[in-house]
Amino acid sequence: MDTAKEPRIKLGMVGGGRDAFIGAVHRIAARMDDHYQLVAGAFSSTEEKSLASAKDLGIAEDRAYGDYTEMAKREARIKNGIEAVAIVTPNHMHYPVAREFLKRGIHVICDKPLTSTMADAKRLAKSAESSGALFALTHNYTGYPMVRQARDMIRSGSLGKIRVIQVEYAQDWLSTKLEETGQKQAGWRTDPERSGAGGSIGDIGTHALNLATFVTGHKPESLCADLDSFVDGRQLDDNAHILLRYNDGVKGMLWSSQVAPGNENALRLRVYGTDGGLEWAQEDPNYLWHTPLGEPKRLLTRNGSGANDAATSVSRIPPGHPEGYLEGFANIYTDVAQAIIARRSDDKAKGEYLFPTIHDGLAGMAFVNAAVNSSKRGGAWVKLEF
Amino acid sequence: MDTAKEPRIKLGMVGGGRDAFIGAVHRIAARMDDHYQLVAGAFSSTEEKSLASAKDLGIAEDRAYGDYTEMAKREARIKNGIEAVAIVTPNHMHYPVAREFLKRGIHVICDKPLTSTMADAKRLAKSAESSGALFALTHNYTGYPMVRQARDMIRSGSLGKIRVIQVEYAQDWLSTKLEETGQKQAGWRTDPERSGAGGSIGDIGTHALNLATFVTGHKPESLCADLDSFVDGRQLDDNAHILLRYNDGVKGMLWSSQVAPGNENALRLRVYGTDGGLEWAQEDPNYLWHTPLGEPKRLLTRNGSGANDAATSVSRIPPGHPEGYLEGFANIYTDVAQAIIARRSDDKAKGEYLFPTIHDGLAGMAFVNAAVNSSKRGGAWVKLEF
Amino acid sequence: MDTAKEPRIKLGMVGGGRDAFIGAVHRIAARMDDHYQLVAGAFSSTEEKSLASAKDLGIAEDRAYGDYTEMAKREARIKNGIEAVAIVTPNHMHYPVAREFLKRGIHVICDKPLTSTMADAKRLAKSAESSGALFALTHNYTGYPMVRQARDMIRSGSLGKIRVIQVEYAQDWLSTKLEETGQKQAGWRTDPERSGAGGSIGDIGTHALNLATFVTGHKPESLCADLDSFVDGRQLDDNAHILLRYNDGVKGMLWSSQVAPGNENALRLRVYGTDGGLEWAQEDPNYLWHTPLGEPKRLLTRNGSGANDAATSVSRIPPGHPEGYLEGFANIYTDVAQAIIARRSDDKAKGEYLFPTIHDGLAGMAFVNAAVNSSKRGGAWVKLEF
Amino acid sequence: MDTAKEPRIKLGMVGGGRDAFIGAVHRIAARMDDHYQLVAGAFSSTEEKSLASAKDLGIAEDRAYGDYTEMAKREARIKNGIEAVAIVTPNHMHYPVAREFLKRGIHVICDKPLTSTMADAKRLAKSAESSGALFALTHNYTGYPMVRQARDMIRSGSLGKIRVIQVEYAQDWLSTKLEETGQKQAGWRTDPERSGAGGSIGDIGTHALNLATFVTGHKPESLCADLDSFVDGRQLDDNAHILLRYNDGVKGMLWSSQVAPGNENALRLRVYGTDGGLEWAQEDPNYLWHTPLGEPKRLLTRNGSGANDAATSVSRIPPGHPEGYLEGFANIYTDVAQAIIARRSDDKAKGEYLFPTIHDGLAGMAFVNAAVNSSKRGGAWVKLEF
């Protein structure tokens, strides 16, 4: 993963100040393969706090901003201004922030879900399309090597025709009313104003669906959802049971929960086709079960015997030395870096990007909307539209 | 499990001739704890074949029957005739056979599902109710010690209020059109005439639901089902995706599949409540995960540290020496034996039986019916009624 | 496992009265496949206690003995006397009891280890050789289907030339001074008078070594042992660390412990050759890892894809329905039954028996002796001799 | 892990040019938490190759050296010269390189094992002692959070008095004569000139022993070793079986192998005491089994319920999001960074460092020497001395 170096990409960040969780993750991910250099940020909504964070991070004082619009304007103008920005704010701020950078041709790497409303999502899609800049959405689980391997195996026909997709993402951290304790993460994630209409389905269900579609290539066409807010007084769902019908007659189930004690980040995908199956679990990401029909199960390992190019090309170390969440996240950053570097010499450079894009974001919003509508209508079947 | 002995129960069997699978299982289960003695049988539909099986099994020639009605009549009449009969025929024969024995006061141990139609199921329920004899249905998975432990823990409040029930039973043996190869098991299990309206849901989905209700005590009230026959030309479902609403606001999902490569008998139950969770898998039955909220996960072992009476009372050997499917099945037989022995001295003897009864059979039939109806109506929500 | 029946073998038992553990295991094992009928016993050392046990077990009063010599004499004389006897006493009684039955031509199924001293072991070997009767030793772990599969794979060359054998058997039940609490099992197993010179090495180390030699076919030639009695005042070892040199340059390690908290019956074998490896664990006995060099790991399942005849011929039920300790134990009993039945028509009938014999018993005694001697000499290398 | 920032530590590297494996690992580890900035290097033994690597890594041309002595001299002299150097050469070069930097007060982070000979090791120890600079050895497995947790639990008495330590490190990559194929890693690791007297014991056995002593605090006093070179013509051991006697009567076994098919980097530690046990495996590093005697097993997770400060203080992300090998390695770099930063203001600053030091290196050399001597003497018991 040390590759002949282009000059590092100058990166800015919006959000991610002290106490934020995901900002630090983005920073490590950007640093991992040494393609980026963090040089500017509007880390918080006041200049003072933003400056404190900048200082922590070794960023020059004059590149710390209290206002993201000002940051976009100035960075677009100055010499050696940022080429890309990471947006790690709560969901409702994704659109207004991204717009400012996109319209100035600055590439955007945005946390998921895309926005808090479908209306914003569509506006953002327009911004992204009309911009010359790239837009990447950090559905980071698609960066895991064995997820890449699974996708490649299905594309090359290892499973035959797909029949069934089982995907789930279970957590337990919202089993009690944590949002009342002042816990910041719990606060905004259970607040419709900042998160949007989806609770668990927006926060983690979209990851699950994105993983299923990334790996299998099948698109959900309709769903039937039973959403619950098991914790008294919670406004957004904390548990979702969903049946899915994908194109080509593929059927699926999806479970997302934040009230399942004993589950930390239990994202798990199982795919079954006419010729075999695949099983992968995020908490044990260096392994992929392949179950060819009528043969013994095989445990494929990252970079080990049976690994394919799709996996080894995004692995850093030998098999048996585990890579984890941060490495998978970094793979998204590195994919984006390669696309950005290609744009340097050819501003129309295109490719089939493996990193998630605006399209994945819209699909996620359509999923959340459909699920909420289905549940409101008593669990009726609803089409996914965007 | 060697207990002070009452005289062994004289047992007969209908079905279970050469090449049948489940008959041999019932025989080993009956033998395990030495409460039964197999002395008579109508093992096949012709006297000649039945006699051959009887000979294999060391049963006297004059206790081999070609006709179950004749068997019921004669065994009820002779000295030392059978006290109980095991019925291990295809589903459509459960009712007519059971009726003959029940009306003569002979206890019935019947394989699941109850019958092939709801009409037969209701008739059989009447037969059972009007009979003085016991009726047991071999939803054998409820006999596993750690399943008993799970039930007991939930009853005693270890999980707090239950919120979510995830249950699934996946197999792969019908991934291809095995029924066309002459394989006997595949033949009748995919034939609506002999199996009834449910394919995978009748054969294994009923086991999954029975396990969920046995362990949690919650009853399903309505469901929404998406059934598929993925193998071309198959008449019954081979994959079922189901959302469930249980009483008291408990929500669940149920997946049954016979087309999921790599799954042998992957029956798995996960239950989550306000205070903790439990996870159990049939293929690894000596273990039970207990996940109290906010504490480390605990792996409870059969007869080991943390085992409760509900589990140890049905264990034969020390922890770390695995018991399996046959031992779990035998626990049902032993439960029934204890009830039969109690009846010997008091023919009204009652108790809360842990073994599954006619009620569980009716619930299973209601589940199959509801699922088939829901799926026919495009996945509408349907109530479970019986 | 229901096979065309010869008349059941009349079986007697010495030891195994109330509160004994292993007697009940032998009885279930004998019953499992319906080849035996328990008809006589000297279950305890007094006639009264023996009679009480006989009553529990449904055995005729006149076949309950307080004295094993009397039992041997009478059973050899009476019509329909026992053909075989199961000896389930503490170790020091194996020899005197077995001798009485062997010299009267009654087949012996004896619990392990062979005896409490090498002198007794050699005498017993002579008794067995001069007798026309069979002698089987219940190193029961060799009865597990996947152990049979492993042996067969190695014989047929799947692993190439063997290099390394890692075997261990860890328990925790003697972590404290349980023998002082009056616990009967702990009492005799830590008493050199009744157990012999080996503590953990005799009780479970012999199982581990027997498993290693059964599966690989390699014989230990010398060893170096470090034995400890970690619990204060305990006379026999409760932990043993041993290096082994087998024939043909194969090297091994063996660990036995009864003071390893968290280990119930953690018997585990790993074998590595030039072309691949195998790993098996008794607590998860239906699975066998096969790791062909340079290919993905494969998880072989009992009776599933990849199972060979050696495994399927001793399996009763389909893959995914676990068989356990009792079924493995029963496989030894069934192997012996087949040998006994062959002797009925041909009293010189021989075969290569898969069940453990006197030879395995002597090998086990030689192992215990060598380990004790090595440890006494500060961990010197000692040859195994018998 | 984003902490208020001191200026980044200027880091140099010796070794780690194109095609080297461990150099890239050190670079990612150094970058992870943003404490270091790689600014100089003698990446290869020729200036041309070193320059090519420097270019790849974005390092200024005038900081690329073909000679480590020149590098040490110049970097010690120039303004903003390196404060620390990472040495990632083959073993025999560790001493001469480290000496040059240590004598100029430049901190050294050195790959393990310490050197290729005990004589060099002692010289290096003297260099380190007489230098004002820090010396860290990257026994990186001690950086894993759950290893830190295990150490802390044992220190605080969770296991009571330790009795038994089982440790092993198995690989399969040298199962064939890979060194003859031109594979560079295999080449120097099997060459006594460059690696020293130990093959598998030097390369991975030292890691295993270091892990055992780090976690338990017990020191090995004597050992008995049986080393083999199973691959024909190989000069160094590729498999080692070792019995260990630690201080205070603790006993242990250690297995290192590079010829065990199916093992990638199977480093595994199990520790048992009077009150409980702990089990940890490097390939699944986010989990730690705790088995308190007489209670159910508990699965402790990184940063999850039951995690202690020793673990959480070196974790970056929430439980269920796995951290891996690179994060563990980075923890060593961050520990060293904190020590270096403390030295900036107080050049005598000391502390109990958690990172491995020269002492660990000497202990590893003593282990290799003792094992080689023991094996040469037929497996005699040998004291560990240094």
pLDDT value at position D45? 86
Q: Are strands D239-246 and D220-228 parallel, antiparallel or unpaired?
A: antiparallel
Lowest mean pLDDT among A19-23, A320-324, B313-317: A19-23
- Tell me how close the Cα of B61 comes to any Cα of chain C, in angstroms: 14
The residue-averaged pLDDT of D214-226 equals 98
| Domains identified in chain A, total number | 2
Q: Which residues contact A359 (CB under 8 A, 6 or more apart)?
A: none
- Range scoring the smallest mean pLDDT among A5-19, B204-218, B264-278: A5-19
Q: How far is C320 from chain B (nearest CA, A)?
A: 5
In chain C, residues with a C-beta closer than 8 Å to the C-beta of A288 are none
Amino acid letter for position D116: S
* Cα A215 to Cα A9, A221, A315, C153, D66, distances in angstroms: 29, 17, 18, 36, 47
Range with the poorest average pLDDT among A125-139, A222-236, B1-15, B19-33: B1-15
In a domain, A355, yes or no: no
Domain membership of residue A345 (yes or no) is no
Domain of residue C378, CATH code = 3.30.360.10
Greatest mean pLDDT among A40-49, C19-28, C204-213, D10-19: C204-213
Among A295, A297, A306, beta carbon nearest to C295: A306
Domain housing C182: 144-317+363-383
Average pLDDT in chain A: 95
Q: What is the mean pLDDT of residues D61-68?
A: 96
Does A360 have pLDDT greater than 70?
yes
**Mutation to test the D interface, candidates C154, C230, C278, C299, most D Cβ within 10 Å:** C230
Neighbours of D381 (CB within 10 A): 18
**Distance set, CA D43 to CA D52, D62, D247 (Å):** 9, 13, 42
Query: Chain B to chain D, count of Cβ pairs less than 8 Å apart?
Result: 34
Alpha helices in chain B (DSSP H): 22-32, 47-56, 68-77, 94-102, 118-130, 145-155, 184-189, 192-195, 200, 206-216, 309-312, 325-345, 358-376
Judge whether residue C351 has pLDDT over 80: no
**Cβ contact B262–A166 (<8 Å):** no
> Mean of the pLDDT values across residues C155-177?
98
C21 and C166 together in one domain: no
Judged by CB atoms closer than 8 Å, whether chains meet at C297 and A294 is answered as no
Band of pLDDT at residue C352, cut at 50, 70 and 90: confident
Using CB atoms, pick whichever of D2, D58, D320 lies closest to residue A27: D2
CA C35/CA C11 separation, integer angstroms: 10
Same domain, yes or no: D151 and D279: yes
Calpha distance B60→B40 (Å, rounded):
8
Decide if D226 contacts D241 (C-beta within 8 A). Answer: yes
Answer yes or no: do D299 and B299 touch at CB < 8 A.
Answer: yes
Q: Is residue C1 scored above 50 in pLDDT?
A: no
User: Which of C299, C301, C302 would you mutate first to test chain A, the one with the most A CBs within 10 A?
Assistant: C299
Residues of chain D contacting residue A327, judged by C-beta atoms under 8 Å apart: 324, 326
What confidence tier does A278 reach under pLDDT thresholds 50, 70, 90?
Answer: very high
**Residue B332, amino acid:** I
Domain boundary among C81, C111, C133: C133
Task: Closest CB to B266: pick one of C25, C304, C320.
Answer: C320
Chain-chain contact of A264 with D55 (C-beta, under 8 angstroms): no
DSSP category for residue C104: T
Q: pLDDT tens-digit profile of B60-106? A: 999 999 999 999 999 999 999 999 999 999 999 999 999 999 999 99
Nearest to D239 among C164, C230, C277 (CB): C164
Domain membership flag for residue A258: yes
Residue D337 lies in a domain: no
Whose CA is closest to A302, among B371, D324, B144, B37?
A: D324
Contact C306 A295 (CB under 8 A): yes
Last residue of a domain, one of C102, C133, C164: C133
Question: How many CB atoms within 10 Å of residue C130?
Answer: 10
pLDDT above 50 (res A1): no
Best of C37, C321, C331, C334 to disrupt the B interface (most B CBs within 10 Å) is C321
CB contact under 8 A, A300 and C298: no
Instruction: Report the alpha-carbon distance of residue A153 to residue A308 in Å, rounded.
Output: 8
**Which candidate in A154, A158, A162, A166 is best for mutational testing of the B interface (most B CBs within 10 A)?**
A166
Handedness of CA B109, B113, B115, B116 (dihedral sign): negative
The model's pLDDT over C274-326, given as tens digits with 9 standing for 90+, comes to 999 999 999 999 999 999 999 999 999 999 998 999 999 999 999 999 999 99
Per residue in B141-177, pLDDT (tens digit) is 999 999 999 999 999 999 999 999 999 999 999 999 9
Name the residue facing C326 among B2, B266, B327 (closest C-beta): B327
**Quick one: D180 and D266 in the same domain?**
yes
Q: Test D251 with C239 for CB contact under 8 angstroms.
A: yes
DSSP secondary structure letters along C223-279: EEEEEE--STT-SS-SEEEEEEEEGGG-EEEEEEES--TT-SSEEEEEEEESSEEEE
Q: Are residues D157 and D120 in the same domain?
A: no
The mean per-residue pLDDT over the stretch D262-279 comes to: 98
Judge if C16 and C78 occupy the same domain. Answer: yes
Query: What is the reported pLDDT for B4?
Result: 52
The answer to whether A154 touches A162, Cβ cutoff 8 Å, is yes
Q: Which residues pair with A137 in a beta bridge?
A: A110
**pLDDT at residue D3, as a whole number:** 52
Does a structural domain hold residue A99?
A: yes
Percent with pLDDT over 90 in chain D:
88
pLDDT of residue B123: 96
* ipTM of predicted complex: 0.95
C167 and C77 within one domain:
no
- In this structure, are strands A239-246 and A251-257 parallel, antiparallel, or unpaired? antiparallel
Q: Final residue of a domain: which of A87, A110, A133?
A: A133
Same domain, residue pair A232 and A193: yes
Q: How many CB pairs under 8 A join C and D?
A: 113
Residue A15 identity (one-letter amino acid)? G
Instruction: Note whether C302 and C156 are same-domain residues.
Output: yes
CB contact under 8 A, D296 and B295: no
Report if residue B26 sits inside a domain: yes
pLDDT band at A168 (very low <50, low <70, confident <90, very high): very high
Structure tokens at A357: 């894009």
Higher-confidence residue of C5 and B189: namely B189
pLDDT digits (tens, 9 = 90+) for A73-122: 999 999 999 999 999 999 999 999 999 999 999 999 999 999 999 999 99
Q: Which residues of C touch B282 (CB under 8 A)?
A: 320-322
Q: Can you give the pLDDT at residue C2?
A: 46
Inspect the interface and report whether the beta carbons of C305 and A295 lie closer than 8 Å: yes
Which residue on chain A is closest to D316 by alpha carbon? A25
Q: Which of A8, A304, A326 sits opposite D327 (nearest CB)?
A: A326
A2 pLDDT above the threshold of 60: no
What b-and-e string marks burial along A215-248, b requiring 16 or more CB atoms within 10 Å of the CB? bbebebbbbbbbbbbbbeebebbbbbbbbbbbee
- Asked if D176 lies within 8 A of C293 by C-beta distance, the reply is yes
Are D160 and D296 in a shared domain?
yes
> Would the pLDDT of C222 be above 80?
yes
Distance of alpha carbon A327 from alpha carbon A315, whole angstroms:
8
> Residue D71 maps to which CATH number?
3.40.50.720
Calpha distance A166→B255 (Å, rounded)? 9
pLDDT over 90 for what percent of chain C?
A: 88
Q: How confident is the model at residue B2 (pLDDT cuts 50, 70, 90)?
A: very low
Q: In the predicted model, is pLDDT for residue C246 greater than 50?
A: yes
In this complex, the residue of B34, B319, B321 whose CB is nearest that of residue C31 is: B34
pLDDT tops 90 at residue A349: no
DSSP lists the bridge partners of residue C300 as C288
C85-118 confidence digits (pLDDT tens): 999 999 999 999 999 999 999 999 999 999 999 9
Q: What is the mean pLDDT of residues A161-183?
A: 96
Retrieve residue D165's tokens.
Answer: 């330590």
| Shortest distance, CA D298 to any CA of chain B (angstroms) | 5
Tokens of C47: 């006639």
Nearest residue to D280 via CA among D145, D140, D146: D146
Mean of pLDDT values over A275-281: 98
Residue among C264, C265, C323 whose CB faces B326 most closely = C323
* pLDDT above 70 for C3: no
* Chain B residues with CB-CB distance to D298 below 8 A: 296-299
From A268-272, B334-338, D180-184, D285-289, the region with the lowest mean pLDDT: D180-184
Query: Which residue of chain A is at minimal alpha-carbon distance from D319?
Result: A264
Mean pLDDT in chain B?
Answer: 95
The answer to whether residue B77 sits within a structural domain is yes
* Per-residue confidence (pLDDT) for residue C154, from 0 to 100: 98
Q: What is the pTM of this model?
A: 0.97
Q: What percent of chain A has pLDDT over 70?
A: 98
The mean per-residue pLDDT over the stretch B32-61 comes to 94
B180 plus B110 within the same structural domain: no
> End-to-end distance of chain A based on CA atoms, in angstroms?
37
Q: Which residues of A touch D262 (CB under 8 A)?
A: none
Strands (DSSP E) found in C69-177: 84-87, 107-110, 135-137, 162-170
Asked whether the beta carbons of residue B32 and residue C34 sit closer than 8 angstroms, the reply is no
pLDDT score of B18: 82
Claim to verify: residue C310 and residue C210 sit in the same structural domain: yes
pLDDT digits (tens, 9 = 90+) for D373-382: 999 999 999 9
pLDDT, average across residues C247-253: 98
Q: Are residues A212 and A282 in the same domain?
A: yes
**Residue B324 Cα, gap to closest chain C Cα (Å):** 5
The verdict on residue C326 lying in a domain is no
